[in-house]
Structure 1
Amino acid sequence: QVDLTLDVSGRLAEVPVRPGDSVQEGDVLARLETGPLEQAVAQADLNVRLAQLDLAAAREGPSEAELAAARAAVRDAKVELEVARHAYSATLNSALDSAVRSRKIEFDWYVGYYQGRKAEYEAGHLSQSDHDHAMNAMISAEGRLNEAIERARMEELQAQNRVDQAESALYQAWQRLQLLQSGPLTKTIMQAELEVDRALLAREKARADLEAAVLRAPFDGVVLEVNAAPGDRISAGATLITLMDPTALEARVTVIEEDLPLIEAGQPVELFVDALPDASLRGQVARIIPQSVPGESPRYPVYISLDDGWPAVLAPGMTVDASIVIAERQDVLTLPRALVRARSDGTAQVKVWVAGQVEERTVRVGLRGDLRVEILEGLREGEQVVGE
C-alpha cells in the first residue's frame, strides 16, 4: 500500500472515491480548485511574452524615437542644472541674509545694553527685576538671531540639494544617451535572455502546479483510506489517499534464530491462511530481515511472495502460517517427529520393538520437518518404533 499526496496546496474541489472502491491506473482520486492555479499559468504566459519582447528589442537596438527622447532628456537636464545653480546663487544673496545681519545687529545692541545694566546692578544702582529684564531681552534677541541663521542654512541646503540632483540627473541622461548611441550591448542582451529563461521556468512550474492539482491512481488498486473531504484546505505533502495494490501483497512471517541460517531467498513456501482454510497457497522467500523483532525470544522477519498472485479475498493484516522448504528429498525413510528427539550431533535415541521386546537404538537423522524426520542410519523400513 502507498500513501498518496498532492505536490501543491489548495482547497479540495472533489474526492470521487471512498474507502473500499476499486480504481484503475489513471483514475482521478482527488482534485483541487484550480482557479488560482489557472490564473498563475495565464500570468506566467504573459510574463514570457513580455520577456521575449524585451529580448527582441534588446537585439534590435534603440529606435529613432528612443534616441530623440534621450537627447531631449539631456537638454532638459542641462536646463534644470542651470536653473538650480542660479537659484543657489540667489539664495546666497537672499533677504534671509539681510534678516540674519539685522538680527545680528539687534543682538549685539542687547548684549551691550545688558552689560551696562549688569554693571549698574553689581554696583548696587539697579534692582534685580531691571537686571533680569535686560538679561531676558538679550536672550530673546539671541533666539531670534539663531532662528534667522537656521532658516538661511535650510534655504541654502535646499538649493544645494537641487543642484546636486540636477547634476546627477544630467549625468544619468548623458550616460543613457551614450548607451543608446553605442547600439545593442552584449550585456543587455544577456540580461534579457536570462529574463526569458526565468519566465519560461516560472511558466513551467505554474503549469506543473496546475497539473499536480489532480491526484490520479498510480496503479490498479483498492482505496483503503480517504483523509479529506471537498472544501478542506490541503497542504502539499499531506497524506490524502491510501491505496493498496492487491497484486503486490506479501506475507510476513517470523522464524526462530536457530532456523534463520537455513533460510535463503527463493526457497519454496507453502502458506495456510485462516480466511481460506481449505486452500494451500504456494510461494517463495522474497526477502530476509536480519534484525529481530521485539518479543520474549528472538524472531526474524521473512517476507513471502506468492507464485500465482494473491486471491482477491485476502487483505493486509490477515493471519498466515508458512512452511518454508529448506531442502527436499523423495523416497527416504522417515519417522514422525514426535518419536525422534534429535541431538546437536545429528543423532537420536529411539526404542525399537524387536522379538517381542523394546530395544534402545541410536539412529542418525537427516532433514527435519514440522511433521517428520529423515532417518539416515540405524533403522530399516518395516521395523517398528515404540512411542512414549
Structure 2
Amino acid sequence: MEATQVKPKVSTSAPATPEKQAPKFKAPKKKRKWPKRLIILLVIVAVLALLLSRCMNAGSQIVSSAYLPYTTEMRDMTVSVSGTGTIEPIHSYKVTTLVSGEILEAPFEEGQTVHKGDVLFRIDSKDVESNIEQLQLNVQSAQLALNDLLETQSDNQKDRNLKAEDAGVITKLYVEQGDSVSIGAPIADVLDRDHMKLKVPFHSADAAGFYVGQTATVVVDGTAQSLTGTVDEIAVTDEVGPGGTLVRQVTIRVDNPGVLSETSRGTASVNGAACASGAAFAYASSSQITAKAAGDVETLSIKEGDRVSEGQVVGVLSEVDLDSQIENARISLETAQLSLKNAQEKLDDYTITSTIDGEVIEKNLDVGDNISGVSSSGTSVSYPAVIYDRSQLTFDMDIDEKDISKIQVGQKVEITADALDGESFTGVVDKININGTTTSGHTSYPVTVLVDGSPEELYPGMNVSAKIIVEEAGSVLTLPVEAVERGDTVLVALPGCLDENGNVADLSAVEERQVTLGRNDDNYIEIVDGLEDGEVVVALSPQGSSIMSAMGMG
C-alpha cells in the first residue's frame, strides 16, 4: 500500500505566546516613472514640430506673397524722358522805368494788342528839357572857345616852324633840341655851294632883249672852260658903265663844277652879246634860319652837313601855354557834349514804348499817375504794365544728368496739363542749356520746349507734364521695369512655382537667369536676350520689400 504524505495543517490563528511581538518593517517598492516622462516629452516634441511646421509654412507663404509674377510680352515701345514745367509766353515785357514823373499819355488798354515801338507811357519831362537847352548853350560856348584857341594856334604855327628859306648845306648849327630861343635867334647857316651866280653889266640895248631863263654862256677867267647857265635876274634900271655907256646888270646862274668859289671871276654872253665887263662869282644863296617866335626847340631834324631844300621845315618851337589851353578847352567841350548826350538819352526815357508785339495783360498805371510806381489810388504796383507775346508758348523742364545725352534739338514732345484732363498737346525741343544746376551732388539741365500751334487752352502759368520722345523702338520683348530689380538677372518661374490662381506659391521653384537689357520707357524695359515671349518672372513687389525688411530678410 503506497504511503501518502500528509502535510501539516497550518493554523491561521496566531500562536499562543506569552508576549505580543512587533511586526517586522518592509520598505515599499519604487514605481518606474521614466516611461511616462518620455511619453510627455514625445508629445511636446510633436506639438513643437507641428507648430514649427505650421510657422514655416506660414513664413513660406508670407515670403511667397511678397513676390509677384510678371509675364514677358511683345509690345510697341516708345523711349522717352519725362519732366514737368510751367507754360510761359515766348516773349514778355514787364514795363520798367529809370525816371519818375506824372504820366501825360497812356494810349492803350488792358487786353489790347500792341506792337513793337508803340507808345505806352509819355511822362512829363519839362525839367529835363530845360536842362538840355542849358547844356546846348554850354556846348556852343565851349566850341567857340576852342575854335578861338585853334585859330590862334594856326596863326602861330607858321612862326613856330623853323624853315629854310633857301636850298643848300647846313654849314653851322647854333641850337640843340630842348634849347630855349628868342625871336630872331639864329638856328642854322645855309649855303648853296652847288650853284654860283655871276652878276655882270650888259649894254642896255642888248639887255633889253634878254629874258629870265634865257641860256647864257659863262667863261671862267684864267681857264678855257666855259659853262652853260641861265639868266636869273635882269635889272629894271640902267646905270652908267665904263666909258660913260649905259649898262644894265644881268645875273646869270650856273652849276658849280666844284672848282668855283667867291674868289673866282668870269665873263658871260647872252644870245651872242658879250657883257661889258667881268665880275666875281658869288654863291647862289647864303642864308640863315632864324626863330620867328620864342619858345623851346621841341623838334630839330637837321645837323651840320645836311642838305635842305627851299621852304623845308627843319624844326618846331613848342608853345606850352597855348597847347595846355587848347587841351583844357577840348576837355571842356567833350564834357559839355557828354552831359548833353546823357541828358538827351535821359529824355528818351520819358517816352516808354513796347519792345515786343503782344497783348496787354496788365495796365496798372494811367494818365495822372506817377510813374515812380504808385497809382493815383495810392496802391503800389510792381510794373506799370505787362505785355505777353502768346504767338508761341514755351516751357522749361529739368532733365537728369543720366538722360541729358539722349536729348536733341527738334525731338518731339508729348504734353499734358494738370488743369486740362483728357487733353494733350505736342511740341519740340528748342534749346538745351548746358549750364546745369547741382543739388546734393545731383545735376540737372534745363531744356526749353516750344509748344506746337500755341493752343488757346494753355495759359501762362499752367503746370504741364511732358515726355520727350527719344526713340520709337517698335515691337520688342518687354517686362515691367519693377520686374527687373537685380541688375542683369531675373528669377524665372518653373513648374510648381505658381498656384492655380497664378500667384507665387513656391519660391523654391524658380531659376535665376542672366538677361540682356535694352531700352526702357517709364513702365517697361526691353529684354534683348535671355527670355522668351510668355515666360514668367517673379520679383519683389513694393509691399514685399517692406515685408521682407520687417522679417529681417531685407
Partner of residue 458, structure 2? 314
Of 440, 448, 458 in structure 2, the residue corresponding to residue 304 of structure 1 is 448
Distance 1:372 1:7, change over 3 A: same
TM-superposed deviation, 1:318: 0.3
The reply to whether residue 40 of structure 1 matches residue 131 of structure 2 is yes
Distance 1:26 1:376, change over 3 A: same
Distance 1:352 1:198, change over 3 A: farther
Partner of residue 290, structure 1? 437
TM-superposed deviation, 1:376: 1.6
TM-superposed deviation, 1:61: 5.0
Q: 2:398, 2:137 → 1: CA distance?
A: 61
Q: What TM-score results when the alignment is normalised by the length of structure 1?
A: 0.54
The reply to whether residue 15 of structure 1 matches residue 106 of structure 2 is yes
TM-superposed deviation, 1:229: 3.1
Partner of residue 388, structure 2? 244
Distance 1:210 1:384, change over 3 A: same
Partner of residue 192, structure 1? 329
AA of the residue aligned to 2:483: R
Q: Give the 5 Å matches for 1:174-253.
A: 185-235=322-372, 239-247=383-391, 249-253=393-397
AA of the residue aligned to 1:12: I
How many residue pairs get aligned? The number is 257
SS at match of 1:332: strand
Of 259, 263, 269 in structure 1, the residue corresponding to residue 404 of structure 2 is 263
TM-superposed deviation, 1:57: 3.2
AA of the residue aligned to 2:333: V
SS at match of 1:228: coil
Of 467, 479, 484 in structure 2, the residue corresponding to residue 342 of structure 1 is 484
Identity of aligned residues (%): 30
Larger proportion of strand: 2
Check whether the contact 1:252–1:301 (CA below 8 A) recurs between aligned residues: no
Q: 1:8, 1:220 → 2: CA distance?
A: 24
Q: 1:47, 1:215 → 2: CA distance?
A: 28
Check whether the contact 1:246–1:312 (CA below 8 A) recurs between aligned residues: no
Q: Give the 5 Å matches for 1:1-388.
A: 1-61=92-152, 185-235=322-372, 239-247=383-391, 249-253=393-397, 260-264=401-405, 265-266=407-408, 268=411, 269-274=413-418, 277-284=422-429, 286-287=432-433, 289-292=436-439, 302-306=446-450, 308=452, 310-335=454-479, 337=480, 340-349=482-491, 360=510, 362=513, 363-381=515-533, 383=534
Distance 1:301 1:59, change over 3 A: closer
Structure 2: state its 5+ residue gaps: 1-91, 154-318, 374-381, 503-508, 542-554
SS at match of 1:231: coil
Larger proportion of helix: 1
TM-superposed deviation, 1:320: 0.6
Q: 2:390, 2:464 → 1: CA distance?
A: 16
TM-superposed deviation, 1:185: 2.5
Structure 1: state its 5+ residue gaps: 63-181
Check whether the contact 1:271–1:283 (CA below 8 A) recurs between aligned residues: no
AA of the residue aligned to 2:100: S
For residues 306-357 of structure 1, the C-alpha deviation after alignment (integer angstroms, 9 at most, x for no partner) is 264633443321021112345552332234x37x522241344465899x98
AA of the residue aligned to 2:488: G
Distance 1:379 1:300, change over 3 A: same
Q: What TM-score results when the alignment is normalised by the length of structure 2?
A: 0.39
SS at match of 2:131: helix
Q: 2:426, 2:408 → 1: CA distance?
A: 15
